[in-house]
Structure 1
Amino acid sequence: MSDTVIQVENLGKKYIIGQQQESSYSYKALRDVLADSAKSLGRRLRHPGKPFVSSNQEEFWALKELSFEIKQGEVVGIIGRNGAGKSTLLKILSRITEPTTGRIRLRGRVASLLEVGTGFHPELTGRENIFLNGAILGMSRVEINRKFDKIVEFAEIAKFLDTPVKRYSSGMYVRLAFAVAAHLEPEILVIDEVLAVGDVAFQKKCLGKIENIARREQRTVLFVSHQMAAIKSLCSRVIVLDSGQLKIDNSPQAGINFYLKNLETVVNRQAISALRRTGTGALKLIDFWVEDSSSESIGTVVSGSDITLKFSYYRNTIAPLNKVVLGFSLHTSLGDILSIVYSDYMGVSFSNLSTKGEISCQIKDLNLSKGRYYVGVRILVNQVEADWPRGYVGFIDVEDGNFYAEGRTPHSGIGPILIRGKWQATDTSKPQKLLTKNDS
């Protein structure tokens, strides 16, 4: 018997996107409804069997011609930019929505964790929702009773077990939902990013459980996440989606590299102004670049060199701006934070800034190893958030340099941070003389 548990063939999902043309206050009279109905009937008679899309609507293919197979016991990561079709794929696999074209074949019971609180009734208690969710997953009451204590222990909600879940925080929702889905022994477990809601300790606990489910119990896991480190450590394969199409199905490292390369192209093209941002808007970032020690704009920097990060801003208010603080963060290609630096860490803040200007941060003797590092920015005015672009405003490409001043290139796999130290060897083979009162 084949060990294939998920088979996807030419899968496609189409949505019709409507564009509102009339004013929100407009209305249709009866004659308009009758006229529209007559037009629709005429089109159907002229083009029988062909669906009609009006001029103020357009087709959007969330998935298109998608085909792949997944074997029993595989942990498959599904990655891609927002809108790539990841969640749509999981909803089809979970039988929440039907595909427009193609078909899927599933062998075994599927447990899904797609959104916080999916499958829970807000008026029921945590205890009641365990039985409800278990029943939805196809478990008998005897099976649920057998696993009940383990579910409660894992979710860490014993104190609130008989409280309606509508009073739960999002983290409590996720803990209970994951505990139910993971402990009721589905053949296929589908997880879509929801673990990002929980705290760090619970995330580690969940990742450990996923690893146990896949490796020891030989169950299949589909894992959608933007945390590349988790994808790399957990998954045996990675599928990359872009605009609803499969771009690569390969090893985790190959898949992550492909995704990051595509992401770099997008980041490079994307203007800072296009990023979603929060804050008062009193002072806004409009550009970011890197300069060398000669104040020349550069695309690549060298380890051990002196560089300056330049942040161009625009002032949107005539009110006085006091205690302006700019902070930036450095991230690895996997999304891990290397450092977060604010100007007031060094006791520096700015006042009376002009309408347009630049804030710079000089970094001497750059101690980053070869690689690409992404930059995030946040601006505070008098301890109130003024601008926070939610995404990377750019990146810094670093090449190997003479950081150790000996002409030596560091060994591979050293990590992102370069450290100099003063080295010394001490001879401990000879007995040390002990001081006495007479010696002092």
Structure 2
Amino acid sequence: MFKRLLLTLAFSSSIIWFGSCAQKSQTTADQIEKAKEQHAAVVEQTQQQQKLLEEKTRKLQEENQQLQAQLQRLQEEKRELEKQKAQIAKIQKFQNVKAENLQSAQCEINPDLGVPLNPPQAKPGECFAIGYLPAKYKYEKVKVLVDAGGEKVITTPPKYKVVPKKILVREESKKIVVIPPVYKTVTEKVLVRPATTKKVVVRPAKYKWVTEKVLVEPAKKVWKRGRSFLTHAVATRFDPNTGDILCLVEVPPKYKYIKKKVMVEPPVVKEVPVPPVYKTITKKVLVKPAQTKEVVIPAVYKTVYVKELVEPAKVQKIKIPPKYDYVTKRVKVRDEQFLWVKVLCKDNMTKDAIIKLQKALKSKGYYRGPIDGIYGPLTQEAVVNFQKDNDIPITPGAVTLKTLQLLGIK
């Protein structure tokens, strides 16, 4: 009888031990699988963030290059505008000089203008005046450096893999034990996680604070000195040591009020489908029932999963070539000049000559006044505009022979 009881207990303990080992193995496998999924998700998220950062950096560099090129062009245009303003101011200042002052200015010429005091190679009967020839420019395309280029460093994170490793848990030993039942291992594909939906919060929940009454100390009964007819006395007893009458009194419960945050409006979520996860497992099928005998208990090993480095981190340098752009730049061909030019003498500025001049200017679209033979402001302005367009020295108070020649007046 005692031997049968001993065998029963041993058999029961062996079944419990194998059951607990199987449960622990299953729990460890689930944890490893979960760790693998979390690691893969973290790696994928890191790679996506790195790609987004590289794309933003590239766009910012391109925008910076465009802004620098645009700033350079604006600075060039600003300098050209300042030069044009200075030139226009000089022309306007020169146009305000009256014709008679220019005619009598042979002895009052400013030497700083680079003009000789007397007209060179002057002949009797010829008349001269000082003309202003503005600076001449031409536009040409110039190749400018937009971006000096350099190197772009791309860092590739290291790659890891999770591999199994077998470790010794318990060494081999001998003892009389209940031989566990014999099982055979079959492979079976089981569903680890069914197809579900994952909830993604679109709008968070709203909360509010409420006051709630919380029990601090429950109602209780205590013995107190007093008379038997005390209020709320449940029972009485006599204390022989003191001679007092003790009453069992009900003490009411104690409460306190606390503030509590409760949800007023639940969060708005949307469901995203998550595919099912399957796993291939080995299943034991009973082949032979349990027996008792002296057996050798083999060593026990445990398979754990460790992370090993597959590929170390890499740093790759990419050379970025310099970038150039073509901009239109105004180049000075000739500096401004003040020089003596032959003009129509005052005695020859007859009414008929001025009428011919006005007609010729009007036919070319420069003069819009009446044909009256008077060399007034409108005629003078038309002459100056014609001289500017034909690159002739500007003489506001006189008409140069070159102007008459180009207008076809003899």
How does the TM-score come out when normalised to structure 1?
A: 0.13
Ranked by relative contact order (alpha carbons within 8 Å, sequence separation 6 or more), the top structure is 2
Structure holding more strand per residue: 2
Larger Rg: 2
Judging by fraction of residues, say which structure has more helix: 2
TM-score (normalised: structure 2): 0.13
